[in-house]
Amino acid sequence: MTNALDLAAPSVRKLAPYVPGKPLSELEREYGIRDSIKLASNENPLGPGTKARAAIAKSIDELGLYPDGSGFELKQALAKHHAVSAERITLGNGSNDLLVLLAEAFLTTEVEAVYSQYCFAIYPIVVQATGATARIATAFPESHAMALGHDLDAMGKLVNDKTRLVFVANPNNPTGTWVDTNALKHFISSLPSTTLVVVDEAYIQYALNDLAMDASKWIDEFPNLVVTRTFSKAYGLAGLRVGYALSSVEVASVLNRVRQPFNVNSLALVAALAALDDHEHLRRTAELNAKGMRQVLEGLKALNVCVYPSACNFVLVDCKHPAAEVNEALLRQGVIVRPVSGYELPTHVRITIGTEQENARMLMALRLALE
């Protein structure tokens, strides 16, 4: 048979697959160790809240049936939560699904997309897969207060009449950086009506102290604004895969054309619905993260590393040493973090804030790894 790669679409042939955080089971299999910890994928150390757990348990009997393809109840609850009409909401199999749908719906080989250097790794992948031209804005330099963060002015300069999508992660992964609220609003208002701007708010629940306002409030004002949210991070439902987009009704109906009819599974639908109003779980999550962040920042001070400001549940750390070696030394001690060499940051690792115990163990392992 002909090599399958030769048969693949040219845009797909050049794609490098996304490299996820190493699963615990894989590490333990490979290294023959136990009791390892994972601080690699920005998951909530508390997991799902009690309300989501109860909703999932109650729905097991219905798994023989297809899910509600319209996600009616969850959309109604989200509409209420954001005080928008339900027609502005698109549900996704994780917010990653929405990024794919946006690219499929709006990008072709004839048009362009803009994102920043050091942005979330999925943007380059979804853009490349369509064959659209990617325009990559240089990020803020190391000397800037928001080092490695999105430079909205630089991004704006790359926008032209062929630009269909601009991706802004606020805050951004893997850098943890955020953009100024007024600057973001000005940026959005300066875009041509032929350019959609996707503001990815995957970490917004952690960032509320750092941001004056989130972009979900501007959906009415800007018809070309799309805000994506997820239940994977602060809500602790990463394994279920559910996220959503807020947009104009017109954009939502375009996304609905490319969406798989049952893209969100039934457990995800009921768990997200229950999680949305579990304020107690969100409060505990934010509190644990704030405490853990202080612990980790304090611990890292004692090491010869450089830490970037973060509004998220992780920190980006420049180890000033090849990250592959640091990572290997951590893995041998049963600690999984995320090297980010794929982002052209060869001496950096991204570390998720875990429980107090996990943070302490990571700090000790990192100290040994750097020695």
Ligand X SMILES: *Cc1c(COP(=O)(O)O)cnc(C)c1O
Q: Which residues bind ligand X (CB under 6 A)?
A: 94-96, 120, 169, 173, 200, 202, 230, 232-233, 238, 243
Nearer to ligand X by Cβ, of 169 and 293: the residue is 169
Report the distance separating Cα 247 and Cα 221, nearest Å: 11
Scanning the structure block, which residue is given the tokens 């000790």?
Answer: 364
Helix, strand, or coil (residue 117): coil
In the complex, the smallest distance separating the C-beta of residue 161 from ligand X, rounded to whole angstroms, is 27
Query: Which residue type is seen at 323?
Result: A
Q: Give the H or E element holding residue 315.
A: strand 314-318
Q: How far out from the chain centre does Cα 103 lie?
A: 16
In the complex, the smallest distance separating the C-beta of residue 338 from ligand X, rounded to whole angstroms, is 11
Nearer to ligand X by Cβ, of 17 and 32: the residue is 17
Nearer to ligand X by Cβ, of 352 and 363: the residue is 352
CB-closest chain residue to ligand X: 94
In the complex, the smallest distance separating the C-beta of residue 94 from ligand X, rounded to whole angstroms, is 3
In the complex, the smallest distance separating the C-beta of residue 174 from ligand X, rounded to whole angstroms, is 8
Report the distance separating Cα 310 and Cα 329, nearest Å: 25
Nearer to ligand X by Cβ, of 96 and 266: the residue is 96
Burial 32-64 (b: 16+ CB within 10 A, else e): eeeebbbbbbbbbbeebbebbbebbeebeeeee
Nearer to ligand X by Cβ, of 197 and 363: the residue is 197
The reply to whether omega before 223 is within 30° of 0 (cis) is no
Burial 147-165 (b: 16+ CB within 10 A, else e): bbbbbbebbeebbeeebbb
Give me the numbers of helices (H) and strands (E) for the chain, helices first please.
15, 13
In the complex, the smallest distance separating the C-beta of residue 52 from ligand X, rounded to whole angstroms, is 15
> Could you tell me if 255 and 248 are in contact, meaning their C-beta atoms sit under 8 angstroms apart?
no
Q: Give the H or E element holding residue 328.
A: helix 323-332
Report the distance separating Cα 268 and Cα 71, nearest Å: 10
* Phi-psi sector, 299: left (phi>0), alpha (psi -120 to 50), beta: alpha
In the complex, the smallest distance separating the C-beta of residue 190 from ligand X, rounded to whole angstroms, is 23
Nearer to ligand X by Cβ, of 205 and 365: the residue is 205
The token duo for 250 is: 């017109």
In the complex, the smallest distance separating the C-beta of residue 222 from ligand X, rounded to whole angstroms, is 20
Nearer to ligand X by Cβ, of 40 and 365: the residue is 40
Nearer to ligand X by Cβ, of 232 and 266: the residue is 232
> Could you tell me if 259 and 229 are in contact, meaning their C-beta atoms sit under 8 angstroms apart?
no
Residue 321 burial (CB count, 10 A): 15
Nearer to ligand X by Cβ, of 90 and 173: the residue is 173
